[in-house]
Structure 1
Amino acid sequence: MKPDDASVTRGLLGAHAILMVDDELQACKWFARLYGDEFVVLTAGSADEALAVLAQRGHEVAVLLTDYAMPQRDGVTLLSEVRQQYPHVARLLVSAYADKDMAMSAVNQGHVEKILEKPLDEALTRQSLRDALQASQERARERALIERRAATLRETLGFLAHEVTTPLATVQGYLSAMRERHVDPTEGDRGVAHIQEQKPGDVLFMIEAAQRRAEYAQSLVSTFVQTARDAYQPDSAPSLRASDLVQAVREEYPFDHDEAQWLTSDLADDFVLPGRRDLLYLVLCTLVKNAVLALRPNPPAQPNVHVVLLREAPAPGLPVQAAIQVRDNGPGIPAEVLGRLTLEPLTTRASTGGSGMGLVFCRRVMTSLGGSIVVRSEAGQGASVSLYFPFAQ
């Protein structure tokens, strides 16, 4: 394998190498030759050299095995620094019998995870390296999972804030418009408010539209508050059916004018959804909102946003999965945009507050559930977005 190929492979594998540290050059060569048939072995002749290797290739190193007795800085000192700077690295110490009391002290202080005595027993050393490698990779996976969850939480909170801000900004706009139209009552009309209408019914429309948006914002916040409470009782969360989720969006989403009539559904092929209601509710609201906004500028004679529950394969060769699909009969999505959706923030509505984060957020949620999202469209033929749930019941 060429050097550049090796670097690519290491990048894909993550932490997997063994770093052996000993100030005796022959000991390093012997270790690399003996255990190199099973492990990727790196060597260093001192604590400083080991730290230099870690600074350059720390993401590759899963296990550090070091001799105790070395000039300048001993092995325990090295492992103590590694514990602080590279917490994913498993730490093993090689010591002579005379160093045993010191080594046990290092174990008790948490600097060292295991001690191997000189001379090294090959079978015991191999098994110790296997165990340490597995433990390191498990720690790395746990850390990556925590980081992904933290990133998902940040994105979720940011997207939720955006979704709540949008209807509240509309409410503020309607209230400002009514405030501007307010007319002070005359002397004989004390106690009666007067708001001038520019056309019949527009004040009532603003009040009702503001109320719908306030209720929608409140439903988003309430859902996430309930989820925070349920987190302390994970076994009490009820099963969520896909049909119930669609019905919740139908009842709670703040459609304008007669746009609620655009929404149709086919819920016969129902199933139980994996995951929590809050994120899935926000995902489905996002898809319905995108479809409505696509239709709004130039609606066809019979605008339609159709939500259907179905079972199909996401792509040829893949197994059939439960899915929620949102279709619209709008203008479709340009080909140059279609392939980039869900992968990066793209919006054609930046002038009206669009951030392009909607489908990116949806993809993140579906990936966290082990599912996927597929966007299909042809210019002039509308668009469909399918949410696939391989683990749905």
Structure 2
Amino acid sequence: MNADDTGAARGLWGPHAVLMVDDEPQACKWFARLYGNEFTVLTAASVDEALALLSERGHEVAVLLTDYAMPARDGVALLGEVRRLYPHVARLLVSAYADKDVAMSAVNQGQVEKILEKPLDDALTRQALREALASSVRRTREQSLIARRESALRETLGFLAHEVTSPLATVRGYLSAMRENHRDQPEASGGMAYIAQQKPGDVLFMIEAAQRRAEYAQSLVSTFVQTARDASRGDTSASLRASELVCAVQDEYPFDAGESGWLSVELEPDFTLPGRRDLLYLVLCTLVKNALIALRGDPPAQPRVHIALHRVAMVPGLSPQPAVRVIDNGPGIAPEVLQRLTREPVTTRAESGGSGMGLLFCQRVMTTLGGEIAVHSLQGQGTTVTLYFPPSTDDTPVEETR
């Protein structure tokens, strides 16, 4: 079985191979034959050949094992290049006793992580390769996790900016309207000013609506600032109950006049949420906003948005798990739109600033927490969005809620 077949048979994706570099063809053949039964082995006969192979298959290589003494460029030069270009690769050097001083210099310069002396001892070599492979896989996962976190942070900040911009744009609109309707009284009447109204209560409505939206924008920013402070202190102990999150949204969301009466909540069975408050708060606010917008467009006789805590199985046969549901009795979602939600940006409100990124953002957050999001809807019968969370060890099991 060659190296490619071995990798495919083991179902290995990402770094997993050992690259052996030696200018003696027999040494490469011997190494591949001896260790190929446990590892995916690639070989190269020179530094240039090894670098050429890495340029094509560097994402597969987890461990580099190179001889020191080779013509043209030696193994230490290769180790330095690999350290710079492929930081996930674990680097091992094979050297004769005469090259011990050079080898130690390579260790001190951080170019190599372990030295194996010729002739190779089978047991020691296998153990070194196992440890190096595990180290490389661990580094790759850590780098991938950092990259995913950076990507999620960029997406979160972009979505947060959009969510903050919307209420602030409304505030600016109300202020502009009041400015346009501002009237100065003649000096003879004391120089008083007033804002003209089309009907009684217009000015008070705009002031109260602007205040609600400004407070909502402030709450979004404040919770992200607090999370940043916690992260800078290394504080990962904070936990949040699902009921606390629901109550925060109920208290802080900027409902339009009368809309807060549409909302009802069910706070049992309660459970501990994974992750930080900021992302989950933004997710739940997004779902509530979507429900309210749907109800405004085609309001039923008694508009209703219900947030309920559940413990329910995602599909029949699976164990129940904690969940939060947002249910509305709006017009529902068309089937051709429903099947695209959470997979691509879809919006029916492009003319009013909708981007279709809301549910995609919610999906990304739930996925990073080890959860899932499901959307069920029938036209004319409303929409139910369920956030499924991974089970928590401190939750008391209860009967499944349908």
TM-score category (smaller protein): over 0.9
Aligned to 1:383: 383
Aligned to 1:108: 108
Q: Is 1:268 matched up with 2:271?
A: no
C-alpha distance 10-209 of structure 1, shift in aligned 2 (>3 A): farther
Contact 2:348 2:354 in 1 (8 A): yes
Using the TM superposition, give the Cα deviation of residue 343 of structure 1 relative to its aligned residue in structure 2, in angstroms: 2.4
Give, as a single letter, the amino acid of the residue that structure 2 aligns with 1:187.
Answer: E
Aligned to 2:69: 69
Q: Is 1:255 matched up with 2:245?
A: no
Normalised to the residue count of structure 1, the TM-score between the two structures is 0.95
Using the TM superposition, give the Cα deviation of residue 335 of structure 1 relative to its aligned residue in structure 2, in angstroms: 2.1
Give, as a single letter, the amino acid of the residue that structure 2 aligns with 1:79.
Answer: L
Moved more, 130-139 or 358-367: 358-367
C-alpha distance 124-219 of structure 1, shift in aligned 2 (>3 A): same
Aligned to 2:209: 209
Q: Is 1:154 matched up with 2:154?
A: yes
Aligned to 1:316: 316
C-alpha distance 141-225 of structure 1, shift in aligned 2 (>3 A): same
Aligned to 1:32: 32
Q: Equivalents in 1 of 2:382, 2:6: separation in Å? A: 46
- The aligned runs of 1:257-336 (5 Å cut-off) are 257-336=257-336
Q: Equivalents in 2 of 1:3, 1:25: separation in Å? A: 17
Give, as a single letter, the amino acid of the residue that structure 2 aligns with 1:354.
Answer: G
User: Gaps spanning 5+ residues in structure 1: where?
Assistant: none
Aligned to 2:230: 230
SS at the partner of 2:297? coil
Contact 2:107 2:114 in 1 (8 A): yes
Using the TM superposition, give the Cα deviation of residue 233 of structure 1 relative to its aligned residue in structure 2, in angstroms: 4.6
Using the TM superposition, give the Cα deviation of residue 274 of structure 1 relative to its aligned residue in structure 2, in angstroms: 2.1
Q: Equivalents in 1 of 2:263, 2:19: separation in Å? A: 61
SS at the partner of 2:73? coil
Using the TM superposition, give the Cα deviation of residue 97 of structure 1 relative to its aligned residue in structure 2, in angstroms: 0.9
Contact 1:15 1:61 in 2 (8 A): yes
Contact 2:19 2:44 in 1 (8 A): yes
Contact 1:370 1:391 in 2 (8 A): no
Provide runs of 4+ in structure 1 moved above 6 Å. Answer: 1-11
Moved more, 337-346 or 257-266: 337-346
Q: Equivalents in 1 of 2:173, 2:141: separation in Å? A: 47
Contact 1:307 1:326 in 2 (8 A): yes
Q: Equivalents in 2 of 1:85, 1:151: separation in Å? A: 22
Q: Is 1:99 matched up with 2:99?
A: yes
Q: What percent of counterpart residues are identical?
A: 72
Aligned to 2:163: 163
Give, as a single letter, the amino acid of the residue that structure 1 aligns with 2:248.
Answer: A
Q: Report Cα offsets for 1:150-192 as digits up to 9, x if no partner.
A: 1111111111111111000000011111111111221223342
Aligned to 2:119: 119
Using the TM superposition, give the Cα deviation of residue 231 of structure 1 relative to its aligned residue in structure 2, in angstroms: 2.4
Root mean square deviation, CA, Å: 2.0
Aligned to 1:80: 80
Using the TM superposition, give the Cα deviation of residue 252 of structure 1 relative to its aligned residue in structure 2, in angstroms: 0.8
Question: How many residue pairs were aligned?
Answer: 393
Using the TM superposition, give the Cα deviation of residue 5 of structure 1 relative to its aligned residue in structure 2, in angstroms: 8.4
Q: Equivalents in 2 of 1:116, 1:5: separation in Å? A: 28
- The aligned runs of 1:4-43 (5 Å cut-off) are 13-43=13-43
Q: Equivalents in 1 of 2:380, 2:5: separation in Å? A: 45
Q: Report Cα offsets for 1:276-311 as digits up to 9, x if no partner.
A: 211111111011001111111111111111100010
Using the TM superposition, give the Cα deviation of residue 9 of structure 1 relative to its aligned residue in structure 2, in angstroms: 7.1
Contact 2:95 2:116 in 1 (8 A): yes
Q: Equivalents in 1 of 2:19, 2:339: separation in Å? A: 43
Using the TM superposition, give the Cα deviation of residue 10 of structure 1 relative to its aligned residue in structure 2, in angstroms: 8.4
Contact 2:184 2:192 in 1 (8 A): no
Normalised to the residue count of structure 2, the TM-score between the two structures is 0.93
Aligned to 2:197: 197
Aligned to 2:357: 357
Contact 1:213 1:254 in 2 (8 A): yes
SS at the partner of 1:163? helix
Q: Equivalents in 1 of 2:300, 2:355: separation in Å? A: 26
Using the TM superposition, give the Cα deviation of residue 266 of structure 1 relative to its aligned residue in structure 2, in angstroms: 1.3
Contact 1:230 1:237 in 2 (8 A): no
C-alpha distance 237-193 of structure 1, shift in aligned 2 (>3 A): farther
Q: Equivalents in 2 of 1:47, 1:4: separation in Å? A: 21
Q: Equivalents in 2 of 1:61, 1:374: separation in Å? A: 38
Moved more, 232-241 or 189-198: 232-241
User: Gaps spanning 5+ residues in structure 2: where?
Assistant: 396-402
C-alpha distance 2-206 of structure 1, shift in aligned 2 (>3 A): farther
Using the TM superposition, give the Cα deviation of residue 334 of structure 1 relative to its aligned residue in structure 2, in angstroms: 2.2
Q: Equivalents in 1 of 2:12, 2:198: separation in Å? A: 64
Q: Equivalents in 2 of 1:122, 1:195: separation in Å? A: 89
Give, as a single letter, the amino acid of the residue that structure 2 aligns with 1:174.
Answer: Y
Aligned to 2:398: none
